[in-house]
């Protein structure tokens, strides 16, 4: 048994940033917005900081006040709560299948599903990819459909701050996201009137307390400590000894929103401490950090057998927020990797495949992929190169059949 276990996903925040948050209430703050904010405002867009991407999406739908029965076209692979928000507004969810290799929505299917009731397209950049949404914009502009891009998984510094032509771009800085502020989101909105309506609705919300945020910082200080590989190995050993499922336990601890009524949980303004941490993170991030993470992923890919498939393998832009692969026996692969010092995971229940009416047998990212085959490898910018090579060798030895002599 290895004495260290590389965690499935490292919290992308330093202890120094966490300590900054604990004392932010008594420290003098720089009131100037971070320089990167200008990139979120490209094309005269307005910026709104909210508690979460879910909060921003809900505010948008409230401000639009669409007639009941209006259709929201959505990437079929999506966050479960986004579909729930659509339904709670009395709108009809229309999923569009996603290509496995490019993670782009099927544009032919999109065109076929557009109806007079279609009002919004919500397109998701998955796993750290950034897809070219220009063809989608052209289709939607012809039908006067609002285009929202969900960039919650795609923040990668100054390399991408939203498409200037998208009506709304949403970026998440939740607990497990890149450049996390332990919560909050940025909505970049083209229509200034729509922005003001969203701002007025949000102003009626109660504000999360500073005590709530202080407790949150302490919680993630503890989780950051537990993610140190030597300590993390002991944590997993204890969970297994107690017959607790590591996936269920860790996902519950890192989930941005726990159970209960979704709308009641998201309809808050972010506390001032969280906004200060977001501004601090956006001032101090290093673009080279994202380049280093991508380089680590490219090293892993170079050492994986060509037989190993992963979604988004033909995307032009990938920052590798996470690295999923497909395995016919994912639980056994996870067990073997864990025995050799790598804590892979099946993921959590927030990402789902929305039911479609498609009868095509295209090369799509399917419900079966997400529920039965997907495994997220524990890749991070901190993983030593020699360990990345060893991880690839472990995956190859398990998934690749030996070539007959």
Distance of alpha carbon 60 from alpha carbon 257, whole angstroms:
19
CA distance readout (Å), 189 to 42, 99, 125, 192, 322: 10, 27, 17, 7, 27
Burial of 290 (0-12, 13-18, 19+ CB in 10 A): buried
Tell me, yes or no, if 104 is annotated catalytic.
Answer: no
Other Cβ atoms closer than 10 A to 256? 19
CB distance 320 to 294 below 8 Å:
yes
Distance of alpha carbon 59 from alpha carbon 136, whole angstroms:
23
HSE (side-chain half, CA atoms, 13 Å) at 148: 23
Name the active-site residue from 45, 104, 177, 190: 177
| Beta carbons within 8 Å of 203's beta carbon, 6+ residues apart | 269
Distance of alpha carbon 352 from alpha carbon 335, whole angstroms:
24
Q: Give CA 236 to chain center in angstroms.
A: 24
Distance of alpha carbon 34 from alpha carbon 37, whole angstroms:
6
Q: Give CA 214 to chain center in angstroms.
A: 24
Burial of 7 (0-12, 13-18, 19+ CB in 10 A): buried
* Catalytic residue IDs: 177
């Amino acid at each position: 048994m290895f004495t260290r276990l590389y965690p499935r996903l490292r919290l992308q925040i330093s202890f120094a940033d966490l300590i900054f948050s604990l004392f932010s209430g008594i420290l003098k703050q720089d009131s100037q917005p971070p320089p990167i904010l200008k990139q979120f405002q490209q094309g005269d867009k307005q910026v709104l900081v909210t508690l979460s991407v879910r909060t921003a999406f809900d505010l948008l739908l409230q401000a639009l006040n669409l007639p009941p029965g209006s259709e929201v076209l959505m990437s079929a692979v999506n966050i479960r709560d986004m579909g729930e928000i659509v339904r709670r507004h009395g709108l009809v969810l229309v999923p569009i299948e996603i290509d496995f290799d490019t993670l782009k929505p099927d544009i032919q299917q999109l065109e076929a599903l557009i109806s007079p009731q279609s009002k919004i397209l919500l397109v998701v950049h998955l796993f750290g990819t950034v897809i070219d949404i220009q063809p989608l914009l052209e289709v939607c502009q012809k039908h006067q459909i609002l285009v929202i891009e969900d960039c919650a998984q795609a923040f990668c510094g100054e390399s991408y701050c939203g498409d200037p032509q998208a009506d709304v771009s949403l970026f998440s800085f939740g607990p497990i996201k890149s450049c996390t502020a332990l919560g909050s989101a940025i909505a970049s909105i083209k229509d200034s009137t729509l922005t003001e309506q969203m701002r007025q609705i949000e102003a009626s919300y109660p504000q999360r307390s500073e005590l709530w945020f202080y407790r949150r910082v302490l919680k993630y200080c503890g989780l950051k400590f537990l993610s140190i590989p030597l300590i993390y190995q002991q944590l997993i050993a204890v969970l297994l000894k107690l017959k607790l499922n590591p996936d269920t336990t860790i996902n519950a601890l890192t989930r941005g929103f726990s159970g209960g009524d979704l709308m009641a949980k998201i309809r808050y303004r972010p506390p001032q401490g969280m906004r200060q941490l977001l501004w601090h993170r956006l001032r101090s991030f290093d673009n080279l950090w994202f380049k280093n993470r991508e380089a680590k992923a490219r090293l892993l890919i170079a050492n994986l057998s060509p037989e190993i498939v992963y979604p988004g393998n033909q995307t032009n832009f990938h920052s590798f927020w996470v690295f999923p692969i497909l395995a016919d026996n994912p639980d056994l692969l996870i067990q073997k990797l864990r025995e050799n010092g790598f804590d892979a995971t099946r993921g959590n229940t927030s990402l789902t495949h929305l039911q479609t009416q498609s009868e095509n047998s295209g090369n799509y990212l399917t419900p079966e992929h997400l529920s039965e085959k997907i495994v997220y490898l524990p890749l991070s910018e901190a993983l030593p190169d020699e360990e990345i090579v060893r991880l690839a060798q472990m995956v190859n030895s398990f998934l690749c059949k030996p070539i007959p002599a």
